[in-house]
Copies of this chain bind each other. A is one copy, B any other.
Amino acid sequence: MTDISGSTEETILKVAREVFMQHGYDGTSMQMIADAAGINKSLLHYYYRSKEKLFAQIFSHVFRQFVPHLGEVFLSEMPLEQKIRVFTERYIDVFIQHPLIPIFVMQELSKNPQHLADLIRDAGLNPEIVKSRLQETLEKEDVMLKDPRQFMVNLLGLCIFPFAARPLIQRMLFDNDEVAYDAFLQQRKNEVAEFIINAIRKQ
């Protein structure tokens, strides 16, 4: 038994989440999950009828864990600079606590983008509204970068990439020193915000 607290049903969900995130859908077998949870394979099907159903539930939950921040921050009434600072701080913190999310989500979405529309809707995010509100802001504050989509991709890329490419970057630039890389990620919460604010400031 990996976990004694919480019901078995929840334990399965928690353990399956870890296994799926580390090995992906294809790389995970029901037996692996059962072993990791210290239970029998039959019990997995007893609670969640199939591998696909179990995975769908987990993926949807992971998705909801990081998508909504986008709307929350950029629909608020802060000035642009503050939005940038708050967002990078919050977003990078989410990934520091759940470092496997980026690569997991991108990996599975690239193989299986069909249900993406549903996932976004279920996460309670309306990209159109966020986009148009962001565009207003960019025009009102008279910054360098006018295209809200380029802005968004820059912001997300700077936050997410160091987690998705961690093995490569950590080896190439940090001599595989995990502690140093963790510190580097902490630094980035300020670094990214300042970088973006500088980049879009007119002069």
Contact = CB atoms under 8 A, between A and B. Distances in A.
B187 A150 contact: yes
A182 to B, nearest CB: 13
A43 interface: no
Overall SS of chain A's interface: helix
A149 interface: yes
Contact of A111 (B23, B158, B199, B203): B23
A165 B171 contact: no
- How many copies the complex holds: the figure is 2
A116 B158 contact: no
Contacts of A26: 23-24, 26-27
Interface of A: 22-24, 26-27, 100, 103, 105-107, 109-111, 113, 116-117, 120, 125, 127, 131, 144-145, 147, 149-150, 152-154, 156-158, 160-162, 164-169, 171-174, 184, 187-188, 191-192, 195-196, 198-201, 203
